[in-house]
């Protein structure tokens, strides 16, 4: 699985959009980008994933660059409850494995 690089920490004002970047320059053609988050003292929670098209669900939007070497997770209207560590992971979908390689993630602090 390709390695990802994320900023260590970011701040965001409550109600504003939070844009979390991720670099995955060695991503392979069959690897998807996944985002999970971990709120303090809880298990990680799946947010969204995508291959090359932009994706949106009830939690967030995922923007993947055309060359697929980087992506951005967007929380459109951040709330205090979005304060968490956000992990960007690349892996082969449908690979029949529950193995995820977590990096250090980005600690997002949403401030009032």
Partner 1 sequence: KAGVTQTPRYLIKTRGQQVTLSCSPISGHRSVSWYQQTPGQGLQFLFEYFSETQRNKGNFPGRFSGRQFSNSRSEMNVSTLELGDSALYLCASGQNQYITGELFFGEGSRLTVL
How big is the chain, counted in residues? 112
Residues 34-93 close enough to bind partner 1 by CB under 8 A: 34, 41-46, 49, 87, 91, 93
For residues 16 and 42, give the distance between their C-alpha atoms in angstroms, rounded to a whole number: 24
Please, what is the minimum distance in Å from the beta carbon of residue 14 to partner 1? 26
Q: Is 101 a residue that touches partner 1 (CB under 8 A)?
A: yes
Instruction: Report in angstroms the alpha-carbon separations of 109 from 25, 80, 100.
Output: 26, 8, 24
Q: Does 96 bind partner 1 (CB under 8 A)?
A: yes
User: Which is it for strands 106-111 and 9-13: parallel, antiparallel or unpaired?
Assistant: parallel
Query: What DSSP string runs through 43-65?
Result: --EEEEEESSS-EE-SS-EEEE-
Among positions 32, 60, 75, 108, the unique one binding partner 1 when judged by CB under 8 A:
32
- Considering the rule CB under 8 A, would residue 8 count as an interface residue with partner 1? no
Considering CB under 8 A, how many residues would be counted as binding partner 1? Answer: 24
Partnered with residue 46 across adjacent β-strands are 36
Considering beta carbons, is residue 75 or 90 the nearer one to partner 1? Answer: 90
Strands 70-75, 18-23: pairing is: antiparallel
The stretch among 10-18, 58-66, 74-82, 102-110 that binds partner 1 (CB under 8 A) is 102-110
Q: Which residues bind partner 1 (CB under 8 A)?
A: 32, 34, 41-46, 49, 87, 91, 93-105
């Amino acid at each position: 699985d390709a390695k990802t690089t994320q900023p260590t920490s970011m701040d965001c004002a409550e109600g504003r959009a939070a844009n979390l970047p991720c670099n995955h320059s060695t991503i392979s053609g069959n690897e998807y980008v996944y985002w999970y988050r971990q709120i303090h003292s809880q298990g990680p929670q799946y947010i969204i994933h995508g291959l090359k098209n932009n994706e949106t669900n009830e939690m967030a939007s995922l923007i993947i660059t055309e060359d697929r070497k980087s992506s951005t997770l967007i929380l459109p209207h951040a709330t205090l409850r979005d304060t968490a560590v956000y992990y960007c992971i690349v892996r082969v979908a449908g690979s029949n494995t529950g193995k995820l390689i977590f990096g250090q993630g980005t600690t997002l602090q949403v401030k009032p």
